[in-house]
Amino acid sequence: MDYDSLPRSTLIRLLQEQEAAARDAGKDGIVMNYSGRTAPWQIIRMVKPKLSKIVKKFSVGDEVHQAANEIWDGENLSTMVTLYKHRGQVDLILTDPPYNTGEDFRYNDKWDKDPNDPDLGDLVPKDDGSRHSKWLKFMTPRIWMMREMLKPGGVIAICIDHRELYRLGMLMDEIFKEENRIGIINWQKSYAPRSKKHVSTATEYVLVYAKDSERAKTALTERTEAMNARYKNQDEDPYSDWKSTDSSASEVRETGTYAIQSPFTGALYYPRDGRGHWANDAPVMKKWLEQWGSAYSRKDLGDGCAKAMVLKGAQFVDGSPVEDDPVVAQARTRATEVLKRGTWPVLYFGMDGQTGPQLKSYLRDVKKGKVPMTYWANEEYEIPLDIESQSWDHEESGHSQTGINELDAVVGKGHDFRTVKPLRLIKKIIQIWCRPDGLVLDPFAGSGTTGHAVVELNAEASANRNFILIEQGNTEKGDHYARSLTAERVKRVITGDFVGGKRDPIAGGFRFIELKKEKIDAEAVNALAREEMIDLLLNSYWNKAEKAKSYLQRFATGSYRHLFAFNSKNEGFFLIWESSGEPSTLNREAFKRIVDEAKQAGLSARYHVYATIAPYTGAGIEFYKIPDSVLEHIGFNSRSDAYNNENVEEAVDA
């Protein structure tokens, strides 16, 4: 194979696949094996991007919001492959896949040979002996593709229950690697016991992994009034309210373990058992001690520890303070004056000076939030911790019935969804792992809770997050949930037209995009009608310099002959394309029309032009050749694609 002819993105993907192949060979940890397993990257290389169509009837909001958010109606693996412009650009993937309950999971046996088949297949019943391997065959390439969609510091939070928890956990460890596991959230889905033979299942799980844990960021959740109420101001400190915290720490310091002497009693205090060191370095501790009015110095007391921090001139016998030491008496007088005056030093010795050393922790200095824990309880943590494995009570995360009630209030009853995640749970995850201007992807969007959460969070916190929702299911009547439920719910949230009562509208919107069955190649692109071509360009365009924000806002159909959209820099995008059978040439006459249309629209003098050929070139023209540039923007490369197909088919047949 001629590697020099391949684009950079393809070469990077090949290197990633080699790394993954090494893992599959057992060189890098546990690899799951099950009946019919094919390496996920081999499956994905078989999946072809498909044509797409913007359905204006189901799109909502002004053009600015439509350009930034997307709801896709289509099979999610094919859709993620088609979303090439967003590959490596997603901040958070938050999703709720089928749990393999015997009522929610479909599998198409044709996928074993051709994952491009759009048919979702039949429900896999509980008594199917291969239901777990089918579920893994379904999930493995999708989890792999989700990882591809994430930014280097991106995070995935995937919901699951006990049925496939262990298998999903092993699969996530394999694809994301165990060291990138951020936490396992155990959330309380119900608070009333159900009739069971043994124990009542009241919890479900959210597995949280980073693409690279070293680059991922976990935000703080909002502080509560109860947390802030713990801070008082007993000494009328003008800086801030404060509360007492431990003055010792487990962190090792160069000065080692040593005693400090109280300026009130002369007693010696050591760091608390199990901690070993003071919370701050010796120079800082000395400064705080001397703020009580007396000088301190270091002295070897023969106690097997580092030199103690004692009152300068104080007397000791066999390492113990001498009773009635005048130095201590003088220090007590000075310290008592400071105590009565108020605004005590950061290191203090209790309300009356008779206890061991404590630190003042100021509310003003505490981070404006609390560290998220997988168990949501009353404890307060003000420094980052490993989340690991704990639980969220329903007061913090909501419960399943709440999710159903929330959906009923928006779209009414009769939606046939019995397992809906509560908004509180989804909002909390978004707040923690998606920056305020980030992108959230949900490949199993279901009832649209993720989109609902993003829209409300944007309004509540003046954020600007965007979402991409993918839903592939349909009702028994054949109605697509993406249209009848997912988009309908998010639309009603934006317009405020709740079935349960009118609400205030919220700024927002989305493009509703239908994934078509036809695969994309040069022939398919050249056969498109003008409006179909515009849809494809709007859905696929991206700019290398600003890939994550390469959204095009379209003009109304028929507004101009060539001008169809503009970008965030106020630059126009022009299509010379009447129909598939007519000439598409950027010549002098066409360019004159383009310049005139740009002036009419008030756009800058930089012109992005799509055409088949361009015999005319002028200043400020960015030419995109049809179909080559279009195919490049969807990640299609004919040379590498032919090579991949040949090798993948051999691998699958083997």
**642 assigned to some structural domain:** no
For residue 157, report the phi and psi dihedrals to the nearest 5 degrees. Answer: -120, 115
Q: How far apart are CA 275 and CA 545, in angstroms?
A: 50
Query: Highest mean pLDDT: which of 116-130, 196-210, 216-230, 283-297?
Result: 283-297
Q: How far apart are CA 601 and CA 563, in angstroms?
A: 9
Give the pLDDT mean for 605-625: 93
The better pLDDT of the pair 165, 193 is held by 165
User: Which of 522, 511, 583 has the alpha carbon at shortest distance from 83?
Assistant: 511
Give the pLDDT mean for 512-525: 92
Same domain? For 450 and 415 the reply is yes
**505 assigned to some structural domain:** yes
**pLDDT exceeds 90 at position 317:** yes
Instruction: Report pLDDT for 55.
Output: 95
Of 518, 541, 563, the residue at which a domain comes to its end is 518
**pLDDT exceeds 80 at position 475:** no
Give the N- to C-terminal CA distance of the chain in Å, as an integer.
Answer: 21
Cβ-contact 508, 458 below 8 angstroms: yes
The one-letter amino acid at 256: G
Q: How far apart are CA 341 and CA 309, in angstroms?
A: 25
**pLDDT exceeds 90 at position 248:** no
| pLDDT tens profile 204-227 | 889 999 999 999 988 766 666 766
Same domain? For 347 and 409 the reply is no
Whether the upstream peptide bond of residue 627 has omega within 30° of 0, thus cis, is yes
Q: 34: which 2 tokens? A: 């099950």
Instruction: Report pLDDT for 646.
Output: 38
| Mode of pairing for the β-strands spanning 308-311 and 316-317 | unpaired
**pLDDT exceeds 50 at position 541:** yes
| pLDDT tens profile 144-160 | 999 999 999 999 999 99
State the sign of the Cα–Cα–Cα–Cα dihedral 426, 430, 436, 437: negative
Same domain? For 506 and 495 the reply is yes
Q: Which residues have a Cβ under 8 Å from the Cβ of 206 and sit 6 or more positions away?
A: 157, 158, 159, 160, 184, 185, 187, 425, 429
**367 assigned to some structural domain:** no
Instruction: Report pLDDT for 383.
Output: 31
Same domain? For 456 and 544 the reply is no
Tell the burial category of 534 from Cβ atoms under 10 Å away from its Cβ (0-12, 13-18, 19+).
buried
User: Which of 604, 513, 636 has the alpha carbon at shortest distance from 67?
Assistant: 513
Same domain? For 490 and 547 the reply is no
Full domain range(s) for residue 427 = 3-220+373-518
CA distances from 490 to 75, 432, 502, 534, 543 (A): 20, 22, 14, 25, 28
Same domain? For 78 and 136 the reply is yes
Of 518, 539, 571, the residue at which a domain comes to its end is 518
Same domain? For 62 and 188 the reply is yes
CA distances from 597 to 557, 560, 571, 608 (A): 14, 7, 12, 13
Cβ-contact 289, 264 below 8 angstroms: no
**19 assigned to some structural domain:** yes
Residue 460's pLDDT band, with cuts at 50, 70 and 90, is: confident
User: What is the four-CA torsion angle of 315, 320, 322, 325, rounded to 10 degrees?
Assistant: 60
Whether the upstream peptide bond of residue 193 has omega within 30° of 0, thus cis, is no
**pLDDT exceeds 70 at position 11:** no
Instruction: Report pLDDT for 199.
Output: 63
Residue 300's pLDDT band, with cuts at 50, 70 and 90, is: very high
**617 assigned to some structural domain:** yes
**For the chain, percent of residues with pLDDT exceeding 70:** 80
Same domain? For 473 and 551 the reply is no
The better pLDDT of the pair 1, 494 is held by 494
**393 assigned to some structural domain:** yes
Residue 543's pLDDT band, with cuts at 50, 70 and 90, is: confident
SS3 411: helix
Q: 376: which 2 tokens? A: 């949501």
Instruction: Report pLDDT for 256.
Output: 85
Instruction: Report pLDDT for 621.
Output: 95
**pLDDT exceeds 90 at position 259:** yes
Same domain? For 611 and 561 the reply is yes
Q: 438: which 2 tokens? A: 């980030």
Q: Considering only 258-262, 302-306, 544-548, which range has the smallest mean pLDDT? A: 544-548
For residue 598, report the phi and psi dihedrals to the nearest 5 degrees. Answer: -65, -40
Q: How far apart are CA 282 and CA 308, in angstroms?
A: 10
Instruction: Report pLDDT for 226.
Output: 66
Of 328, 343, 362, the residue at which a domain comes to its end is 362
Instruction: Report pLDDT for 380.
Output: 35
For the chain, the average pLDDT equals 83
Instruction: Report pLDDT for 197.
Output: 59
Q: How many domains does the chain have?
A: 3
Give the pLDDT mean for 228-238: 89
CA distances from 18 to 12, 24, 173, 505, 651 (A): 10, 10, 18, 50, 14
Instruction: Report pLDDT for 481.
Output: 86
Give the pLDDT mean for 445-449: 91
Same domain? For 83 and 112 the reply is yes
User: Which of 425, 414, 418 has the alpha carbon at shortest distance from 401?
Assistant: 418
| pLDDT tens profile 369-420 | 555 554 433 333 233 333 444 444 544 444 445 666 676 777 666 556 566 7
**604 assigned to some structural domain:** yes
**pLDDT exceeds 80 at position 192:** no
SS3 70: strand
The better pLDDT of the pair 252, 171 is held by 171
| pLDDT tens profile 321-333 | 999 999 999 999 9
The better pLDDT of the pair 193, 181 is held by 181
Same domain? For 406 and 280 the reply is no
Q: How far apart are CA 355 and CA 348, in angstroms?
A: 9
User: Which of 356, 371, 350, 336 has the alpha carbon at shortest distance from 279?
Assistant: 356
**pLDDT exceeds 50 at position 615:** yes
Q: Considering only 154-158, 496-500, 515-519, 534-538, which range has the smallest mean pLDDT? A: 496-500
**653 assigned to some structural domain:** no
| pLDDT tens profile 21-75 | 555 544 556 777 877 788 888 888 889 899 999 999 999 999 999 999 999 999 9
Same domain? For 162 and 186 the reply is yes
CATH number for 101: 3.40.50.150
The better pLDDT of the pair 599, 197 is held by 599
